[in-house]
Amino acid sequence: MLPEHPAFLWRNPEPRRRYDVVIVGGGGHGLATAYYLAARHGITDVAVLERGWLGGGNMGRNTTIIRSNYLWDESAAIYEHSLRLWEGLQEELDYDLLLSQRGVLNLAHNLHDVRESRRRVYANRLGGIDAEWLDPDGVKEVCPLVETRDDVRYPVLGATYQPRGGIAKHDHVAWAFARGADRLGVDIIQGCEVTGIAVRDGRVQGVETTRGRIEAGEVALAAAGHSSVLAEMAGLRLPIQSHPLQALVSELLEPVLPCVVMSNAVHVYVSQAHKGELVMGAGIDAHVSYGQRGGVHVIEHQLAAALELFPIFSRAHVLRTWAGIVDTTPDASPIVGATPVAGLWVNCGWGTGGFKATPGSGWVYAHTIATGAPHELNAPFSLERFRSGALIDEHGAAAVAH
Ligand SMILES: Cc1cc2nc3c(=O)[nH]c(=O)nc-3n(C[C@H](O)[C@H](O)[C@H](O)COP(=O)(O)OP(=O)(O)OC[C@H]3O[C@@H](n4cnc5c(N)ncnc54)[C@H](O)[C@@H]3O)c2cc1C
């Protein structure tokens, strides 16, 4: 019997000695995968193993930007699938995710930006994604606070605009998927670190954990920045580099920023949280690291960039800064699918932009694990592409843009 108390989120079970599927990582992607395995495929003999607490990784550290306006058909398709799932997710999970489709502006500051951005708008429209090109007056109309004078160092020459883009409350998303999965019978086990992956004759057998060995038919990695550490336990080397990515919030302000504003050239993105803080992020710290902190110079650069676009924010105080560890691939696109070890699956490489993919990623990953073959949406995002050369280069749309 499940408790009926409305504050009840999930059980806290002891790990069993065997599951059909063990998911490693209780971030958004692992939890969404568990939920869809149970809800869509009827696979409920599932454990999510999280070494810390749910949502304590990038899921609770990201700046919550959601959009689908990527350049290539493959990426636009998977992110748009995710955006459509977002649009029905509060009802499906019966949880207020504070999804706010307030629109996302990607500013262009030079001719190259303009060409690349317009190309992306045309590509998005061909793919059925809402995308508009705005001139500086149009930008001002959508977001009156953006500096659009033309005598500044990085004048705004225009912007792409995705009205259906926006933000959501990231920790609610983790809790909602966790509660949904738990109610369907999934064991969510916090404080359980995977320390080894058992492989025999090319097939995965289970995992070693700080709470004992757990046998599994399938082991699905969803460990974001620590994916390569885990893959190495099974003798695999992933094409992943893990970097700190920082963000910050200001003190609380009254609502002043009506949409999300991003700029690759100036190198910052800004939104305003429901509570009132300005939320800002920038590019990754250049060094590889597993320390969830970054260099102060990156924060300084980020604030300088923000003030280029929003001089009016110069009096706002920074409340706190933090970092998460993001898993970047050579083509700035994710990896979702099989590995050379039978029964071992990988979902990683979402880098700086995987929050928006949370439902879509879980949906296709669950399909892949349940059927033993990729869904058509994640088939292009195989590990194999780094051998075949069929890369999906999203540096333009992914880079600093989250
Ligand atoms: C500062 C910042 C800003 C970002 N902004 C955005 C944004 O605006 N929009 C966007 O779309 N994306 C953004 N992202 C990226 C997004 O957060 C990630 O791509 C996404 O959260 C990764 O998936 P996840 O939620 O499953 O990862 P995580 O929450 O990191 O989950 C992985 C989990 O695996 C666990 N784990 C690791 N090793 C082990 C082990 N050995 N055993 C058990 N568990 C283990 C970790 O503790 C962690 O909880 C941002 C990221 C950061 C850091």
- Judged against a pLDDT cut of 60, whether residue 402 lies above it is answered with no
Residue 401 pLDDT exceeds 80 = no
Distance, CA 301 to ligand 1 centroid (Å)? 24
Q: At what angle do helices 73-93 and 358-371 cross, to 10 degrees?
A: 100
**Ligand 1 pocket residue status of 359, Cβ below 6 Å:** no
Ligand 1 pocket, residue 15 CB under 6 Å: no
Q: Provide the 3-class DSSP secondary structure of residue 143.
A: coil
Rounded Cα distance between 135 and 158, Å, is: 4
Could you tell which of 188, 292, 352, 381 is best to mutate to test the pocket of ligand 1, judged by most ligand atoms within 8 Å of the CB?
A: 352
pLDDT band, very low/low/confident/very high, at 394 (cuts 50, 70, 90): very high
Check pLDDT > 70 for residue 43: yes
Nearest residue (by CA) to ligand 1, atom 48, is: 57
- Closest atom, ligand 1, to C-alpha of 354: 19
Atom of ligand 1 at shortest range from CA of 244:
53
Answer whether 230 contacts ligand 1 (Cβ < 6 A): yes
pLDDT at residue 396, as a whole number: 76
Closest-lying ligand 1 atom to the alpha carbon of residue 357: 11
Q: CA-CA distance, 93 to 296, in Å (whole number)?
A: 39
CB of 173 sitting under 6 A from ligand 1: no
Cβ–ligand 1 contact at 49 (below 6 Å): yes
CA contacts within 13 A on the Cβ side of 381? 31
Coil, strand or helix: which one is 84? helix
* Predicted local confidence at residue 379, as pLDDT: 98
Q: Decide: 362 in ligand 1 pocket, CB within 6 A.
A: no
What average pLDDT does the segment 274-297 reach? Answer: 93
Whether the CB of 281 sits within 6 Å of ligand 1: yes
Q: Answer whether 402 contacts ligand 1 (Cβ < 6 A).
A: yes
Element counts in the chain: helices (H) and strands (E) = 10, 18
| CA separation, residue 264 to residues 27, 289, 307, 315 (Å) | 27, 23, 15, 24
Q: What is the pLDDT of residue 117?
A: 96
- Please tell me the predicted confidence (pLDDT) of residue 363: 98
| Ligand 1 site, residue 136, Cβ cutoff 6 A | no
CA of 262 relative to ligand 1 center, distance in Å: 21
Task: Decide if 377 contacts 360 (C-beta within 8 A).
Answer: yes
Determine if ligand 1 sits within 6 Å of the CB of residue 354. yes
Q: What is residue 282's predicted lDDT score, i.e. its pLDDT?
A: 84
219-250, pLDDT tens digit by residue?
999 999 999 999 999 999 999 999 999 999 99
Atom of ligand 1 nearest to the CA of 174: 25
Over residues 182-188, mean pLDDT: 98
* pLDDT confidence bin for 8, thresholds 50/70/90: confident
* Across 179-204, average pLDDT: 98
At 251, the pLDDT band (50, 70, 90 cuts) reads very high
Ligand 1 centre distance from Cα of residue 27 (Å): 6
Using one digit for the tens of pLDDT, what is the confidence trace for 83-130? 999 999 999 999 999 999 999 999 999 999 999 999 999 999 999 999
Best mutation site among 31, 62, 82, 259 for ligand 1, i.e. most ligand atoms within 8 A of its Cβ? 62
Which residues are registered as beta bridge partners of 280? 248, 270
Residue nearest to atom 19 of ligand 1 (CA): 354
Q: Closest Cα to atom 32, ligand 1: which residue?
A: 223
Q: Tell me the mean pLDDT in the region 186-197.
A: 98
Average pLDDT (132-159) is: 96
- Using CA atoms, how far residue 44 sits from 12, 62, 108, 173, 207, in Å, is 16, 29, 47, 20, 18
Supply the pLDDT for residue 399: 54
**Smallest Cα–Cα separation from 347: which of 331, 358, 361?**
361
Q: Measuring from atom 35 of ligand 1, which residue has the nearest CA? A: 25
Instruction: Give the global pTM.
Output: 0.97
pLDDT for the residue numbered 23: 99
pLDDT band at 400 (very low <50, low <70, confident <90, very high): low
60 CA closest ligand 1 atom index: 29
Q: For 330-383, write each residue's pLDDT tens digit.
A: 999 999 999 999 999 999 999 999 999 999 999 999 999 999 999 999 999 999
